[in-house]
Structure 1
Amino acid sequence: MLKRISTSREAILLYAIVLLLALIASRFPGFIAPANLLAVLNDTSPLIILALGQMVVILTRCIDLSVAANLALTGMVVAMINTAMPGLPIVVIITIAVGLGALMGAINGILVWKLDIPPIVVTLGTMTIFRGVIFLISDGKWINAHEMSDSFTAFPRGMFLGVQGLTWFAIIVVILFVILISRTALGRAFFAVGGNPHAAVYTGINVGKTQFAAFVISGALAGLTGYLWVARYAVAYVDIAGGFELEVVAACVIGGISIAGGIGSVGGALLGALFLGVIKNALPVVNISPFWQLAISGAAIIFAVAFNARANRVKGRVILKSAEHATS
C-alpha cells in the first residue's frame, strides 16, 4: 500500500514540485519565502479553477478548448456591465459571470450531445466564435482600470486570514470538486462514461447528458474565472488569456488525467496546475523568457501522454501475465 502511494502520479508530481522549489531556492532563497509562495499560489489560482473544470470534461472522453475564449468573453461582458452600472453588487456580477459561462458551456455540450460533433471540432469552433463576439461587442477597444469601479477590482484582491480572495475562490472550488467527484452520483458518472461508455449505458447512465453536464461545469468555472481575471488585472480586451487553454489541458494531462477518459483525480489536476504555476513564476527568476512557457507546456503534454501510454502498456502486460499464470 505504502509503495503504491509513493509511486502514484500525485506523489511523483509532489516530489517534482518540491525538487523544483529546492533547485530554485538554492540560487534564489527568497523564492520559497511564505509570502512569495502565497503569491505563486494566487497567480496559479485561475489555472487551478479552469483545470478542475477541464478535468471533468476530459474524464468523459471530451475536451474543451474554448475555456480561455469563454473566460475572455465573460470578462469583457462583466467589465462592460460594471462601467455602465458601477453600483451593481458584486454578487450579481459573479452570478452573471457564472451564468454566462455556463451558457457557453451548454452550447458546447448541446452540439456534442445532440449533433454528435467531435468535441475538439465543436470547441475549436466556439473558441473562434467567442473571440469574435468579444470584438463585436467591444469594437476592439480595451476597458482599463480607471473605467472599473473600486468594488469590482477590489473583491478578488481582498485579504482574508492573510490570503487573497482569488486564492480563496480556488480553495473553495477544490473542496467542492472533492465532494462532487467522491460523494455524488454525477461524479461517479463522469468516470463511468469515460471508462466504458457502452457499459455506462447498461447501468442507466445517459452518456450525452453526463458529457453535457461536464461542459456546463467547465463553462461555469470559465465564466467565474473571467470575472476574477479581469478584476484582478483591471483590464479587459479581445486577446485576454490567449493560448491559456493549452496550459489548462497541460495541467490536466501532467496531473494524470487520461485523454482517453475515465482516469484522473482532483489532487492530480491541482498538482498539475501547481507544477506549471511554479515553472511560470520561476522562469523570470532564472532569467528565462516567460514566452518559453507555451513551449514547456506543449512539451509537458507530449511527455505526460507518452508516460501514461507507457504505464498503460506495462499494466496491460502485467494483466496478461497474470491471466497466463491463472490458466496454466
Structure 2
Amino acid sequence: MSRTDTTAPERTGSGPLRQRRSLAARLLAVRELSLLIALGVLILVTTVRNDRFLTGQSVKDLLLGCAILVILAVGQTLVIITRNVDLSVGSILGLVAFGTGELFLAAPGTPWPLALLLGVALGGLCGMVNGGLIAVAKVPALVITLGTLYAFRGIDYYWASGRQINAADMPRSFLRLGNQAVLGVPVLFLVALAVVGAVGFHLRSYRSGRELYAIGSEPTAARLSGIPVGRRVFTVFVANGALAGLAGVLYAARFGTLDAAAGTGLELQVVAAAVVGGVAIFGGSGSAYGAALGAVLLTTIGSALAVLRIDPFWQQAVVGALILAAIGLDRLLALRTATRLRGRSTHGA
C-alpha cells in the first residue's frame, strides 16, 4: 500500500485545508502587525518621557538584552507549535554556559567557533534526552521537561561545586563576541536574526515545517495522514535543545561571569515571549517572527519601566496580563476561524 501524500491538498489548491491556511496566514499577519504597533507605541511613550531612551548606547543595550531571549523563544516556538512545551531551556542554557567556561579553563587555546559547536552539540544532546523520554514513556512534555529542568540544573550544580568562572578566565576574542557590533548592531542580535530567518523560512517553505502545524492542530489526523509524528516531535526537541545550547554559549560571551545559577527562571520568560508573540499554547499556530517580536516587546517593557522608574512588580503584572490576553485572543480567533470555515462549507454545499 502506498503512503498517503499529505501535500495533495496543497497541489489541488482547493478545499477546507487551503481555506484554513489562508485564514491562519491572515490572522498571523494581524498578530505580528499588532505587536509592531504596540512596540512602536511603547517606545514613543517612553521616549517622550525620557529622551535618552533612544540613544545609540540604549538601543545597543536593548538589542543585546533581547538577543538571547529571541533565540530561546524561536526554539520554543517549534515545540509549542506541535502542542508541547519545554520547561528545561533555562537549565540547558545554564549547563552549556558553565560548560563553555570550563572548556576554556581546561583548554585555554580552544578556538571560540569550536566552543560554539560543542555548546550547540551539548544542548542538542539535552534535547535528545527530552525527546527520547517523551517518545518512549509517552508522558506529556510538560511533565518530562519539568523533571529534566531540575535534573539538568542538578548536574550543573554538581559540576560547579560552588565555583564561579570569571571573565578573566576566558579568551578576549570570545568575550568580544558578546559585545562586538557591526555597523552599530550587536553581533549577538545579528545571530538571533539569522536564527529567526532560518527557522521562519523552514516552517513556511519546507514540508517538514508545515507538518509541525498539522501535528499541533490534530495529532491523530496527522498520524493517519502518514506524518511521522513521533519523529517530528523528537526532532523539534533536539532543535530546541541545540538553540538553547547556542544561547548558552552566547550567554557566556555576553556576561563572562558564570555560576550554576545562570539562566534560572528563564524558561518562563521564554514561554511568555512565544505566547505573547502569537504562538498558540494549544498548538498548530504561530511563527518564528511573532515569537521574536514577543521577545523584543517583553525586553522593551522591562527597559521602559526601568527608565520610567516604575516598580519592577508592574513588569511582572504587565507580562502576566499580556499572556492572559494572548491566550484569550487565540481562543477567540480559533472560534471565529472555525465559524467562518463552517459557514463557507455550508454555503459551498
Shift of 1:62: 0.5
Structure 2 equivalent of residue 24 of structure 1: 46
Structure 1 equivalent of residue 162 of structure 2: 140
Is there any run of 5+ residues in structure 1 with no aligned partner, and where? none
From 176, 180, 187, give the equivalent of 1:154: 176
From 187, 199, 202, give the equivalent of 1:180: 202
Compared CA separation, residues 91 and 250, structure 1 to 2 (3 A): same
With 12-21 and 37-46 compared, the bigger mean Cα shift is at: 37-46
Shift of 1:285: 0.3
With 185-194 and 53-62 compared, the bigger mean Cα shift is at: 185-194
Equivalence map 1:210-229=2 (5 Å): 210-229=232-251
CA distance in 2, matches of 1:148, 1:294: 34
Shift of 1:312: 1.9
Quick check: 1:257 aligned with 2:279? yes
Quick check: 1:128 aligned with 2:130? no
Is there any run of 5+ residues in structure 2 with no aligned partner, and where? 1-22
Compared CA separation, residues 180 and 316, structure 1 to 2 (3 A): closer
Equivalence map 1:150-299=2 (5 Å): 150-290=172-312, 292-299=314-321
RMSD: 2.0
Q: Deviations over 1:272-324 (max 9, x none)?
A: 11111110111210112446544433332222111211222233344445556
TM-score by length of 2: 0.88
Quick check: 1:309 aligned with 2:327? no
CA distance in 2, matches of 1:235, 1:82: 13
SS at match of 1:214: helix
SS at match of 2:138: coil
TM-score by length of 1: 0.93
Quick check: 1:115 aligned with 2:137? yes
Q: Deviations over 1:141-197 (max 9, x none)?
A: 211222222223122222223222211211111121122112222211211211222
CA distance in 2, matches of 1:71, 1:44: 15
From 74, 77, 85, give the equivalent of 1:63: 85
CA distance in 2, matches of 1:88, 1:132: 27
- Contact 1:73 1:130 survives alignment (8 Å): yes
- Contact 2:63 2:186 survives alignment (8 Å): no
Compared CA separation, residues 154 and 291, structure 1 to 2 (3 A): farther
Shift of 1:140: 2.0
CA distance in 2, matches of 1:313, 1:320: 11
- Contact 2:28 2:286 survives alignment (8 Å): no
Shift of 1:102: 0.3
Shift of 1:255: 1.0
Compared CA separation, residues 292 and 69, structure 1 to 2 (3 A): farther
CA distance in 2, matches of 1:121, 1:150: 41
Q: How many residues matched?
A: 325
- Contact 1:134 1:238 survives alignment (8 Å): yes
One-letter code aligned to 1:95: L
CA distance in 2, matches of 1:282, 1:83: 38
One-letter code aligned to 2:216: G
**Aligned-residue identity in percent:** 37
Structure 2 equivalent of residue 79 of structure 1: 101
CA distance in 2, matches of 1:22, 1:155: 31
CA distance in 2, matches of 1:174, 1:6: 16
CA distance in 2, matches of 1:19, 1:34: 19
Structure 2 equivalent of residue 36 of structure 1: 58
Structure 1 equivalent of residue 20 of structure 2: none
With 42-51 and 230-239 compared, the bigger mean Cα shift is at: 230-239
One-letter code aligned to 2:149: M
One-letter code aligned to 1:312: A
